[in-house]
Amino acid sequence: MTAKRSGAAMLIALCLAGAATMAAAQDAEPVFSPALTEDCLAESLAAGFDPAECIGRAAEACMNGSDIGGSTVGMNLCIGAELGWWDTRLNAAYRVLMAQNEATDAEMAELGTSAPKMAPALRDMQRAWIAFRDAACAYEVTWWGGGTGGGPAWNGCMMDLTARQTLRLEAGMER
């Protein structure tokens, strides 16, 4: 075999090895599914346990189901995905609760009551909660002293507090 041919064969082998490595890395990427958390929430209603026990179940399954799930990157991907799922629910619950509160405020105004307005109170509470959540999670990160655990700590704190607020607002919708 000539040097030119062996060099070409080596280049082809390296390209194939690189493609195989990239395919394996893609297989190892965490996959998030909210199904475990959704199932747990449904079960909490039926069995009567605290739905807060369901927080983080999908993120944990995502991390455990991947070769890189225990890495900082994997944790951030999985926890961040569940945070996004809870945030979507939070925003939906807020919109429904705000509409309910506005309707109640209108009814109370028609009746001429001096009851405090619910919609502005909800808005003010949510704004204050966002400030609290952000400050609480910023404090949580300080425990990591600037290390790489700060990212997952931030996401974990944000997920936990966002989920708890979601559950609180969803419970308010049922009143």
The CATH number for 110's domain is 1.20.1270.180
In a domain, 35, yes or no: no
Kindly tell me if the per-residue pLDDT of 6 is higher than 90: no
In a domain, 20, yes or no: no
Q: How confident is the model at residue 174 (pLDDT cuts 50, 70, 90)?
A: confident
174 DSSP assignment:
T
**Is 33 in a helix, a strand, or coil?**
coil
Instruction: Report, as an integer, the average pLDDT of 59-65.
Output: 95
In a domain, 6, yes or no: no
pLDDT (0 to 100) of residue 159: 98
In a domain, 81, yes or no: yes
pLDDT (0 to 100) of residue 175: 77
More confident residue, 114 or 26: 114
Inter-residue contact 57 to 37 (CB < 8 Å): yes
What would the two tokens of residue 7 be? Answer: 């060099």
Number of domains, the chain: 1
In a domain, 40, yes or no: no
pLDDT (0 to 100) of residue 42: 95
pLDDT (0 to 100) of residue 30: 85
Percent of the chain with pLDDT over 70: 84
Domain that holds residue 80: 46-173
The dihedral built from the CA positions of residue 115, 95, 123 and 51, taken in this order, carries a sign that is positive
What gap in Å lies between CA 171 and CA 27, rounded to an integer?
39
In a domain, 33, yes or no: no
In a domain, 107, yes or no: yes
In a domain, 116, yes or no: yes
